[in-house]
Amino acid sequence: MIHSMTGFASGEIDTEQGALLWELRSVNHRYLEMQFKLPDGFRALEPKLRDLVGAKLRRGKVDASLQFRASSEAAARLKINDDLARQVIKHAEQLAEAIDAPQSFSALGVLRWPGVVAEDALDLKSLFDPATSLLDTTLDVLVANRAREGERIQTTLEDRLAQISALAEAVATRMPLVLDNIRNRVRERALSLEIKVDEERLEQELVLLAQKMDVAEELDRLHAHVAETRAAFMMDDAVGRRLDFLMQEFNREANTLGSKSADPETTKAAVDLKVLIEQLREQVQNVE
């Protein structure tokens, strides 16, 4: 089952010191890219968190945000650096006056300034394991959400693949009729010009023309690409890049089919193929 690169998950736990909340968002990306937003005191944990995410996700841009809300008991024990807080307020007021703009800070904003609340007031290192464990379980939810979205994408891809197979079959069925029509048009043209037709030479020319118009190889490759795409769905791995490559191969066969087209119906089939392949490609962009 394929997975999407798009998903969201959140998880929260309460500890003696306060509540921890993870929010994870992921979107499509060529590689795996991670961005962490961590409270002060948790930044030393980032390398371990990156390893954890990398073990469960292969591709996608992942934004991971951790919030910590101290409990009322812990907040009551907080140590405020009054001197630093006053300096922050003073400089903020001076800056607001200098640029002739209203003050845009709040008391909570001052408390968030690094160093205003002493870090030793809370034993943040004791929260590293709970924060890591919570990320692990939240990642599982994200993976499950991406899997559900991947199931929806796969249903859409299967529908387009079935239509591509049907178009290829229709073109293969029509080709003998196309050759007969060309043979008849050549004969009619020769008669209208009152030209004596050399049947042997005519057949030779028609054989050469049939070789130029032969699309059996392209149709066979289209069927092979459909089978390969379906096989990729069953792989227990990230297959987005493999599907990207297959979309290029689909396009190549559709372009060749269009260039060899000898009647309006075949041309229409080639155009319809390109539309279906583009729809496939758009969906594949979200596959991990």
pLDDT in tens, 30-53: 999 999 999 988 999 999 999 999
CA 168 to each of CA 18, 154, 172, 175: distance values in angstroms, whole numbers, following the listed order: 62, 21, 6, 11
Alpha-carbon distance of 213 to 59, in angstroms, equals: 42
pLDDT digits (tens, 9 = 90+) for 62-81: 999 999 988 766 655 667 77
For residue 239, the 8-state DSSP code is -
Q: Of 18-32, 72-86, 149-163, 172-186, which gets the smallest average pLDDT?
A: 72-86
- Tokens of residue 256, six digits: 């060749």
For tokens 């209208």, the residue is 192
Give residues with Cβ within 8 angstroms of 241, minimum separation 6: 59
Q: Is the Cβ–Cβ distance between 24 and 64 less than 8 Å? A: yes
**For residue 142, what pLDDT is reported?**
97
pLDDT at 244 over 70: yes
pLDDT at 95 over 70: yes
* Mean pLDDT (whole number) for 260-285: 90
**For residue 137, what pLDDT is reported?**
97
DSSP string, 62-112: EEEEEEEEE-HHHHHT--B-HHHHHHHHHHHHHHHHHTT------HHHHHH
The mean pLDDT value of the chain amounts to: 86
DSSP string, 196-235: ---HHHHHHHHHHHHHHH--HHHHHHHHHHHHHHHHHHT-
CA 41 to each of CA 82, 146, 162: distance values in angstroms, whole numbers, following the listed order: 20, 31, 54
Give residues with Cβ within 8 angstroms of 170, minimum separation 6: 269
* Mean pLDDT (whole number) for 14-27: 93
Angle, alpha carbons 280-285-286 (nearest 5°): 110
* Mean pLDDT (whole number) for 100-116: 71
Confidence class of residue 181 from pLDDT cuts 50, 70 and 90? Answer: confident
For residue 129, the 8-state DSSP code is H
Confidence class of residue 263 from pLDDT cuts 50, 70 and 90? Answer: confident
Confidence class of residue 204 from pLDDT cuts 50, 70 and 90? Answer: low
Give the distance from CA 128 to its chain's centroid: 31
Please, what's the b/e burial string for 236-263 (b: 16 or more CB within 10 A of its CB; e: otherwise)?
Answer: eebbbebbeebbebbbebbeebbeebbe
Higher pLDDT, 203 or 159: 159
pLDDT at 196 over 70: no
Is the dihedral angle over the CA atoms 147, 153, 155, 161 positive or is it negative?
negative
pLDDT at 119 over 60: no
18-27 vs 7-14, strand pairing mode: antiparallel
> Which of 115-119, 141-145, 169-173, 206-210 has the highest mean predicted lDDT (pLDDT)?
141-145
Closest CA to 150 of 227, 64, 248, 234: 234
Higher pLDDT, 225 or 16: 225
Confidence class of residue 171 from pLDDT cuts 50, 70 and 90? Answer: confident
Q: Where are the domains of the chain?
A: 80-117, 150-284
